[in-house]
Amino acid sequence: MAAENRNDRVSLYPCGRPRKEFPELLRLVLLGATGSIGTQTLAIARANPARLRVVGVSCHSRIHELAAELETLRAAAPEAPRPLVTVVDEQAHAAARAEGLFGDRLLPAGDGALEALVRAPDDLHVVVNGLVGAAGLRPTLAAARRGVRIALANKESLVVGGELVRREARAHGAEILPVDSEHSAMAQCLSGRREEEIDKLILTASGGPFRQTPAADLEHVTLRDVLRHPTWDMGPKITVDSATLLNKGLEIIEAHFLFGVPYERIEVLVHPGSYVHSFVQFVDGALLAQLGTPDMRLPIQYAVTGEKHWPLAGTRLNLLQIGRLVFEEPDTGRFPCLDLARQAGRAGGSAPILLNGANEVAVAALLAERIRYVDIAGIIARTLEAARSGPVGSLEEALEWDALARRMATAEVARRAS
């Protein structure tokens, strides 16, 4: 094996280490309660009122959706105290206050509001981070500083601040368990194993809606086409990322930080059915996989519970109906974002931050129908070229690189949109 950076071998995931011991009733804060991950987490809480107590929730601006979610949660556990509520957007916060939506449970809005929510409950065991984008990093760091279990869906936390999260989690004994279905699959394969036993990680990818679309046709795909994911029903940003395969690139970086495996030993296989959620190959050649229907409640629940298989109602995989499993090599010619992410991960320092910031700007522009699907890769590549990357030693530096990426990508969007 080639000489590896020592840091590459330090996993965030508690491989081979005991899980945190918590009381029977887990108290959790849910960041991003109105999103796809958030509402599925609330469904799990509703199904397990004696074992899960939601003590804090957040949304950005969809206050009425949040109020409706909390109403159904209350119906499932009428005796439970109402959770604290953070509404990040100041205008939406003012509207919630004016309408008396959350009464005295509403915390202040604005900068630092999510970190304040994580710090607020006296007794806290789990933080579920279902936020989208780099906005998830600061609350992840706040949760790490509380030394709690973090059920992490927000992969951007690790892409933008992998080293920072690693540092805080280690210093404060926080436990990071993945929610992304691929990384959860790997965690399930790694149950009872140690890091030294891992040879390589194989991430599976559905291939997205354009798996078979010829390169020339990609120039003309519409936003509707982009948002038509073949197997998963998710929020808009990750759905776009799945269509460009940048999501799989972000997952390579996420896997690198979570499991301490160097980039050259993290592979991607396209698996159109999304039945196999990922593989771990061990040093003796054993290849383990986790299979299941595409249902995010399983990985969310597995992370929240500290890796327990609690009962979960739902469709089961019918292997006879599937018949055979298909795997393909990803086409990095048609999907350049995959290689851009791998290169940024390998370059380290600020490169993954630039990649992520440029992508967030490009995805927002696509969702606003200002640019075309094929512009996304160009905007990311241009940002990575133009901003020469450097080291990142602190959160402030990470946020400066993020801001730089956004400025550059915004200029590139304007150039392409005009």
Ligand X SMILES: NC(=O)c1ccc[n+]([C@@H]2O[C@H](COP(=O)([O-])OP(=O)(O)OC[C@H]3O[C@@H](n4cnc5c(N)ncnc54)[C@H](OP(=O)(O)O)[C@@H]3O)[C@@H](O)[C@H]2O)c1
The binder of ligand X chosen from 13, 15, 26, 35 (CB under 6 A): 35
- From the centroid of its chain, how far is CA 242? 12
Report the nearest approach of ligand X to the CB of residue 97 (Å).
Answer: 16
How many Cα atoms within 13 Å fall on the side-chain side of residue 245? 28
Q: Are 254 and 177 in contact (CB under 8 A)?
A: no
Instruction: Kindly state the number of chain residues that form the binding site for ligand X, as judged by CB under 6 A.
Output: 27
Helices and strands (H and E) in the chain: how many: 17, 10
The answer to whether 34 contacts ligand X (rule: CB under 6 A) is yes
**CA–CA dist 112, 92 (Å, integer):** 16
Nearest position to ligand X, beta carbon:
35
x/- letters, 226..265, toward ligand X (CB under 6 A): ------x-xx-xx---------------------------
The binder of ligand X chosen from 27, 53, 60, 265 (CB under 6 A): 60
Any idea which residue has 């993945």 for tokens?
178
Residue ranges in 138-197 that form contacts with ligand X under rule CB under 6 A: 153-156, 180
Q: Applying CB under 6 A, which part among 27-35, 94-102, 284-292, 409-417 lies near ligand X?
A: 27-35
The answer to whether 272 contacts ligand X (rule: CB under 6 A) is no
The answer to whether 88 contacts ligand X (rule: CB under 6 A) is yes
**CA–CA dist 364, 386 (Å, integer):** 21
Report the nearest approach of ligand X to the CB of residue 211 (Å).
Answer: 18
Report the nearest approach of ligand X to the CB of residue 57 (Å).
Answer: 9
The binder of ligand X chosen from 37, 42, 164, 261 (CB under 6 A): 37
The answer to whether 290 contacts ligand X (rule: CB under 6 A) is no
**CA–CA dist 13, 176 (Å, integer):** 6
Any idea which residue has 């809606």 for tokens?
209
**CA–CA dist 155, 173 (Å, integer):** 20
The answer to whether 130 contacts ligand X (rule: CB under 6 A) is yes
Report the nearest approach of ligand X to the CB of residue 414 (Å).
Answer: 22
Residue ranges in 293-312 that form contacts with ligand X under rule CB under 6 A: 296
Q: Are 39 and 52 in contact (CB under 8 A)?
A: no
Report the nearest approach of ligand X to the CB of residue 85 (Å).
Answer: 12
**CA–CA dist 145, 160 (Å, integer):** 17
CB neighbours of 213 closer than 8 A, spacing ≥ 6? 221, 334
H-helix or E-strand containing 93?
helix 90-99
Residue numbers at the binding site for ligand X (CB under 6 A): 32-38, 59-62, 88, 130-132, 135, 153-156, 180, 232, 234-235, 237-238, 296
